[in-house]
Copies of this chain bind each other. A is one copy, B any other.
Amino acid sequence: MATMRDVAALAGVSAKTVSRVFNDDPHVRPETKERVDSALRELSYVPNTLATTFRSGRAPVIGVAVPDIADPFFGAIAKAIETLAAQHDMSVVITSLGDDGTREPRIVQSLLRQALSGLIIAPLSHDQSYLGSWTDRTPLVFVDRQPTGVLADSFTEDDHAGAHQATTHLVGHGHVRIGFVGDDASIPTTSGRLAGYRAALDEAGIEADDDLVALGAFDRASAAAACTALAGLADGPTALFSSNARATMSLVPLIRTGGLTVAGFGDFPMADMLTPAITVVDQDPAALGTLAAQRVLDRLAHPQRRYRRRTVLPVRLVERESCRSRAPRG
């Protein structure tokens, strides 16, 4: 690993001149540049990124913290971020937050210690006030979920409208007893979707029934458990609104056997190939990722400029077979 000093020695100049040549500083005589260039080649000089980073005080790295990288939704967000970062010669450090919100602060702060150029986070916990001291040091952008307890940019999707649209769609098919299946109402996305679901019922003149709200659906087992209560009701649901893709995927075995009508928030692989194909509210994770990464880059390039803090992307209903039949007459 040749250093600039090595190159300088070989070219018979100072390290500073090597630095100038390497960084295309015009204030170098052509013949000097040539000598240095050939020395650079001869030693096949590669800059020590660590040193440059240390000197500059900021790593050319964007941090990404999401609940689960293996989830196709967050994977798509991460991929979009990485693509944009690569175009700007930046790397991406990815961290999974897991499902325990209490570990979030520790994980995220250890990320931030690395003097990142920016952090993009889809938070898990219900309080990001621990980020307060970082906001003036590192551009901070929330995706998918709004921040709580801290002022920061956010790019989210219209949870309320999407849920409203899907629920209204189910109502339009004659359903009156519509269940809500989700993970955890304290997650901002889920609570927004629950509100949209309730608003749609309300507008349709249907009284919301909390017995029809089944939470705790994280995987197939817990989804089945969450639905047991619904199944036990005297006046059970004829349709379900599922509040996220993971929950919808977990519900698929139940849908197949139970013959329920379903609409879900969030598309997922093969949703259109199932029998029945699942109607979903289509999100655009790649757009979320791209916008978030672009905001980080913008904030780095123009620290003074002002930006709209909160951006909510529209969603759209993709109707598939799972909703094409009408509700059974009650």
Asked whether, in the complex, the Cβ of B82 is within 8 Å of the Cβ of A50, the reply is no
Is residue A223 within 8 Å, beta carbon to beta carbon, of the partner chain? no
Given A49-B114, A57-B50: A249 and B270 interface contact (C-beta under 8 Å): yes
Chain A contacts with B in 220-254, Cβ cutoff 8 A: 249, 252-253
Chain A contacts with B in 76-96, Cβ cutoff 8 A: 76, 78-79, 82-83, 86, 89, 91-96
**Interface 9-mer from A28-36, A67-75, A190-198, A209-217:** A67-75
Is residue A51 within 8 Å, beta carbon to beta carbon, of the partner chain? yes
Asked whether, in the complex, the Cβ of B69 is within 8 Å of the Cβ of A78, the reply is yes
Chain A contacts with B in 250-305, Cβ cutoff 8 A: 252-253, 256, 268-271, 273-275
Q: Scoring A residues 107 to 118 as 1 if CB is less than 8 Å from chain B, else 0, what string do you get?
A: 100110111000
> How many residues in A have their beta carbons less than 8 Å from beta carbons of B?
47
- A-to-B contact residues, CB < 8 Å: 46-51, 53-54, 57, 59, 61, 68-72, 75-76, 78-79, 82-83, 86, 89, 91-96, 107, 110-111, 113-115, 249, 252-253, 256, 268-271, 273-275
A-B contact pairs, 30 of them (CB 8 A): A46-B113, A47-B113, A49-B113, A49-B114, A49-B115, A50-B114, A51-B54, A69-B75, A69-B79, A69-B82, A70-B72, A70-B78, A79-B96, A82-B94, A82-B96, A83-B96, A86-B95, A89-B110, A91-B93, A92-B94, A94-B94, A249-B269, A249-B270, A252-B270, A252-B273, A253-B273, A269-B270, A270-B270, A273-B274, A275-B275
